[in-house]
Every structure is written in C-alpha cells, then in structure tokens.
C-alpha cells in the first residue's frame, strides 16, 4: 500500500471529466474507477469522455455514476476507449476542447496516458486555465516523475508467462530464441523481464550492442559450461524489424536463432494486483489534488508515496533506464 498525502479541500469542482489517451495499458479501468468513486463520494459530478482527446473535441461524453464502474477493476483495456488525436496538437483545437468542457459545465479534467497525452494535458491547462491532472498510464514505465506507471507490472508478467513457455522448447531443443518485447525508446520492460526470466542477454535501445559480442558471449558460455536459458530478450527499438535483423546477423555468424515477437499481447489482459492497487490509488488521489486546488501536475509514486510532479517537468525530461540495474542484469547472466 502507498503512503497517501492528506490534502485540505480548498476548491471542490462541481464536475470532473476523465479520459484515457494514447496506447491502452492494463490498469486504466481501475484508474477510471478510482477517479469516479472518489469524486462521487465528495458529491462531484463525473463525466467520462470516450476515445481520448478525439472524444473531447466531438463531445462524446457519458455521465458516470457508481454503477458505471462496477466490475471493471479486473478488465484490461479501457472502458472509455482510447485514441491518438493528432489534431489536439493544434492550439485552436485545444481551445475548442476547453470551450466544450465549459459548455458542459465541467470544471476539471483527469487525463490517463503516456508522455504525448500528458503533454496535451499540460498545454490545455496552460493555454485555457482548465484545471488538469495527469496519471501515468503506459506499459513502458518511461515517464519522468514516477517510479512506476499503470500497466508496467502487468506487461512484465505477461511477457514472463510467454517466455516461461518458450523456454520449455528452447531447452528441449537446445535452441536460441530472440524474444522481442515492447519498448521503442525504453528498455525498462526488457530489463525487468530479462532479469526475471534469467535471460542470457538483454538488448535495449539505451545501449549499443554488437553482434560479434553476442556471438562471443554465447560461445564462451557454452565452452565454459555456464548455464544457458536459450533466451535473449530484445526491446523492439525505434526501427521496425530490429529483432529479425539481429537474427539474420547471428545466422551469418554461425548461430541459428528463432524469433518470437510478443507484440500487443503485452498491452492486454487482466491487470495484475499491483497495477490495480497503483491505478486505484492514483485515480482517487487525482480527485484529492483537484479538490485542494492543485492543477497542472502528474500524480505518481516515489519512494512508496503518492506524489505530485509539475507536468512541465514531466514532459521536459525523459526517465532514464538505471545503468546500475542494467549492469546488474548483465552480471546475473554470466
């Protein structure tokens, strides 16, 4: 359980809207439920916005009550649906969104999503004055200002479940598998999965890896009798086809790897208990901060406590993969 700050109620909104934006992540539904139930318990009207910012600018709204979020904590995806709204990058469109909120007597907005979604939330608040709270909803865990993001734990466990099955075949046939996990610009999933599954190697965008180094390490492991899991975990990286390219290069160096791309199964599925608790606490805390008159922040977790980070800082920084953790991961594979 997290340490939750006690905030004084100074400016209770009459109505709060909530939306999910960008890529979906397991735990978005518990976060929605946290916002709705916490607001209703303070006699605040709640409106759900369908399809993210796209639904905001088209007025695709739903009045929400307690029954609206009954039995959703165990469901993956997002009850409110999601979208990537490129039009929201236009200040005129953001102004329209603020006007639509005002026309519907909505005083504040909670946005659940990744860095792009949080950027939109910050700009909306700065340009129009609409109070906004952001929640970190992304499986990549690459959001500055929080140690954990909604969906990360579930994505790691989903990948682990698949790799545990792949390993059975890898060991039975003494085969080498390149297992691709999500992470275009971030190696958090790959690093955590690699440690947890005992992979031989981990390939992440943050650190360059040379094929001849991989081949040497594989050969060295076998010659010295070191244990082999037969698994190399690869973050997808910014360029599509990285894992297949790596496989072809390994083949040219005498290896015979098989490729398994886990893809979007990491986004789906029932959220883990950890993600349900995290999302519920963050959702409810978003309402607390709004009622305390605090806006333009992201609510996250640091050192086991719910905390607030200005959205301007969140979008200005990139959370880096801990080099010590990555080096420890490599050490455990030798």
Q: Catalytic residues, which ones?
A: 140
Characterize the bridge pairing of strands 61-64 and 176-181.
Answer: unpaired
321-328: long-range contacts, CB 8 A cutoff, minimum separation 24? 321/186, 321/187, 321/188, 321/191, 321/204, 321/206, 325/191, 326/187, 326/191, 326/202, 326/204, 326/206, 326/207, 328/195
**Dihedral angle, C-alpha 101, 103, 107, 113, nearest 10 °:** -10
CA distance 86 to 117: 10
Q: Note the helical H segments in 75-148.
A: 91-103, 115-128
**Would you say 154 and 207 are in contact if contact means Cβ atoms under 8 Å apart?**
no
Of all helices (H) and strands (E), which one includes residue 18? strand 15-20
State whether residue 156 is helix, strand or coil: helix
- Per-residue H/E/C for 186-249: CCHHHHHHHHHHCCCEEECCCCCCCHHHHHHHHHHHHHCCCCCCCEEEEECCCCCCHHHHHHHH
Residue 115: HSE in the Cβ half-sphere, 13 Å Cα cutoff: 16
Between helices 242-252 and 211-223, what is the axis angle to 10°? Answer: 60
Q: Note the helical H segments in the chain.
A: 28-40, 52-58, 91-103, 115-128, 152-172, 188-197, 211-223, 242-252, 273-291, 311-316, 323-332
């Amino acid at each position: 359980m997290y340490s939750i700050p006690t905030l004084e109620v100074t400016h209770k909104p009459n109505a709060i809207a909530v939306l999910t934006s960008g890529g979906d992540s397991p735990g978005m539904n518990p976060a929605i439920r946290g916002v709705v139930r916490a607001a209703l318990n303070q006699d605040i009207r709640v409106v759900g916005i369908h399809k993210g910012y796209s639904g905001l600018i088209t007025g695709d709204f739903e009045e929400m009550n307690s029954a609206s979020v009954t039995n959703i904590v165990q469901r993956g995806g997002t009850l409110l649906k999601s979208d990537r709204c490129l039009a929201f990058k236009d200040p005129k469109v953001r102004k329209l969104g603020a006007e639509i909120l005002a026309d519907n007597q909505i005083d504040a907005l909670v946005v659940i999503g990744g860095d792009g979604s949080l950027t939109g939330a910050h700009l909306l608040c700065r340009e129009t004055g609409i109070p906004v709270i952001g929640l970190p909803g992304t499986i990549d865990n690459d959001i500055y200002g929080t140690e954990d993001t909604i969906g990360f734990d579930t994505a790691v466990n989903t990948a682990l479940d698949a790799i545990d099955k792949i390993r059975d075949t890898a060991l039975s046939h003494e085969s080498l598998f390149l297992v691709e996990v999500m992470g275009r610009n971030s190696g958090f999933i790959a690093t955590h999965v690699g440690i947890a599954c005992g992979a031989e190697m981990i390939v992440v965008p943050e650190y360059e890896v040379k094929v001849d180094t991989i081949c040497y390490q594989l050969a060295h492991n076998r010659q010295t009798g070191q244990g082999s899991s037969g698994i190399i975990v690869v973050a997808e990286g910014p360029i599509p086809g990285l894992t297949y390219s790596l496989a072809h290069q390994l083949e040219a160096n005498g290896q015979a790897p098989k490729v398994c791309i886990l893809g979007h199964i990491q986004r789906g599925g029932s959220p883990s208990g950890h993600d349900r608790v995290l999302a519920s606490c963050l959702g409810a805390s978003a309402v607390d901060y709004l009622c305390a008159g605090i806006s333009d922040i992201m609510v996250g977790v640091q050192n086991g406590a719910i905390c607030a980070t200005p959205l301007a800082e969140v979008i200005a920084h990139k959370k880096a993969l801990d080099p010590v953790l990555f080096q420890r991961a490599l050490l455990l594979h030798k």
